[in-house]
């Protein structure tokens, strides 16, 4: 098979695409013919050696994958050859074939494409965990401000928030991304690269059913966080998702005091690693039901040939990717 190989910790342009041996499933594993693989910021950090964990060289990057099962290891009884699945690999997803733990395989709903499924797990699980487990989002009557809304994480938050009945204001940096937010169901869009973006948010929120921002969904960080925090109504919730801007914001806690707001950390990955597996299973079951019933409309993502993984990573780092980046063999 052909795969993307990281032979040295270096810029993504140094990745190579070459022939390697097919993987063989061990006990409890499934071999999957990859139809699409999701691309995230963590992947770009891994290949540069900038993540806190450094895989031994050489390695095949990638963890989010969707495909068809071609072979099963010993002891796998919940899956069958030919099943269309998606899941999280322990690396190795940027290849024509990869291995998944049978416990981490989810059968793909028939009405969801491989490309959408490949970018679904991290973005949508993060959003649902944030809404249900951390933020107490009730839906109708609430207004949510989504930062970085044109990326995969942001579009997932829009999709799920609209499914729950929220009024959504989406902040994105380009017209293409704002158009994608509107297509995903956002009620209003704001260019947060402009100086007066706070006023634009507050004007849009004033026309919402709640008359102001109740929830901020922030995967960006940096200076954007402080401005977004100031748009919150009293008793609002600020959901800390991540720091794609590269800067961890210094939040003025006097605002939390004066507005009596909650600042809530959201770490779905940490929760998955430490919680009872039944909690994650319930999360996935709920998301699958939403997809099957048509309440959610996962986007296809911006697609690249597998061989162009280096370019895709560079575009992601340069914020040129709309939605989720997806590699297709």
Nearest to 63 by CA among 16, 156, 125, 10: 125
- Cα dihedral sign, 250-251-254-255: positive
What's the pLDDT at 41?
84
Q: Which helix (H) or strand (E) holds 126?
A: helix 121-128
* 81-115 pLDDT per residue, tens: 999 999 988 899 999 999 998 888 889 999 999 99
Q: Which helix (H) or strand (E) holds 106?
A: strand 105-107
The Cα–Cα gap between 282 and 229 comes to: 31
Q: Among 190-194, 231-235, 276-280, which is the least confidently predicted range?
A: 276-280
The Cα–Cα gap between 114 and 126 comes to: 20
Query: Does 139 score more than 90 pLDDT?
Result: no
What's the pLDDT at 169?
98
Give the fold, CATH level 3, of 122-269. Answer: Rossmann fold (3.40.50)
CB burial string 58-88: b at 16+ within 10 A, e below: ebbbbbbbbbbbebbbeebeebeeebbbbbb
**Contact yes or no for 215/142 (Cβ under 8 A):** yes
Domain spans, the chain: 2-120+299-328, 122-269
- Could you give the angle at the alpha carbon of 109 between the alpha carbons of 269 and 93, nearest 5°? 50
Is residue 274 very low, low, confident or very high in pLDDT (cuts 50, 70, 90)? confident
Q: Which helix (H) or strand (E) holds 143?
A: strand 143-146
Q: State the average pLDDT for the chain.
A: 92
What's the pLDDT at 19?
95
What's the pLDDT at 189?
97
**Cis omega (within 30 of 0) on the bond before 99?**
no
Is the domain spanning 2-120+299-328 CATH 3.90.180.10? The answer is: yes
Question: How many Cβ atoms from other residues are within 10 Å of residue 197's Cβ?
Answer: 17
Angle between helices 121-128 and 277-293 (to 10 degrees): 100
**Contact yes or no for 18/54 (Cβ under 8 A):** no
What's the pLDDT at 105?
86
The Cα–Cα gap between 116 and 156 comes to: 11
β-bridge partners, 232: 213
The Cα–Cα gap between 122 and 119 comes to: 7
Q: 127: which 2 tokens? A: 């959003």
Percent of the chain whose pLDDT exceeds 90: 73
Q: Among 144-153, 160-169, 318-327, which is the least confidently predicted range?
A: 318-327
Task: Note if the pTM is more than 0.75.
Answer: yes
Nearest to 145 by CA among 95, 98, 210: 210
Q: 135: which 2 tokens? A: 């933020």
What's the pLDDT at 29?
94
Of 199 and 301, which is predicted with more confidence? 199
What's the pLDDT at 154?
94
What's the pLDDT at 78?
87
- Could you give the angle at the alpha carbon of 328 between the alpha carbons of 322 and 329, nearest 5°? 160
């Amino acid at each position: 098979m052909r795969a993307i190989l990281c032979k040295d910790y270096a810029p993504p342009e140094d990745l190579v695409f070459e022939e390697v041996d097919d993987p063989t499933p061990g006990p409890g594993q499934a071999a999957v013919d990859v139809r699409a693989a999701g691309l995230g910021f963590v992947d770009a950090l891994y290949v540069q050696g900038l993540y806190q964990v450094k895989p031994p060289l050489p390695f095949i990057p990638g963890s989010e994958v969707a495909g068809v099962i071609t072979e099963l290891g010993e002891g796998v009884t919940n899956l069958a050859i030919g099943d269309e699945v998606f899941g999280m690999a322990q690396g190795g997803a940027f290849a024509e074939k990869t291995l998944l733990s049978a416990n981490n395989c989810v059968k793909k709903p028939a009405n969801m494409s491989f490309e959408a499924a490949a970018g679904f797990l991290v973005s949508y699980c993060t959003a649902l965990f944030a809404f249900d487990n951390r933020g107490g989002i009730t839906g109708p009557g609430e207004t949510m401000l989504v930062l970085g809304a044109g990326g995969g994480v942001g579009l997932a938050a829009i999709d799920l928030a609209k499914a729950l009945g929220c009024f959504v204001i989406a902040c994105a940096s380009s017209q293409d991304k704002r158009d994608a937010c509107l297509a995903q169901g956002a009620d209003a869009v704001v260019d947060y690269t402009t100086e007066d973006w706070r006023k634009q948010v507050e004007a849009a929120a004033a026309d919402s059913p709640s008359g102001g921002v109740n929830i901020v969904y922030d995967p960006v960080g940096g200076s954007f966080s402080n401005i977004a925090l100031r748009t919150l109504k009293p008793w609002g919730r600020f959901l800390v998702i991540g720091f794609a801007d590269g800067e961890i914001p210094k939040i003025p806690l006097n605002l939390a005091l004066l507005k009596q707001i909650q600042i809530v950390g959201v770490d779905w990955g940490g929760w998955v690693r430490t919680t009872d597996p039944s909690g994650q299973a319930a999360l996935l079951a709920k998301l699958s039901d939403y997809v099957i019933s048509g309440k959610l409309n996962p986007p296809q993502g911006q697609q690249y040939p597998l061989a162009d993984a280096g370019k895709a990573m560079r575009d992601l780092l340069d914020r040129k990717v709309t939605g989720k980046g997806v590699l297709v063999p």
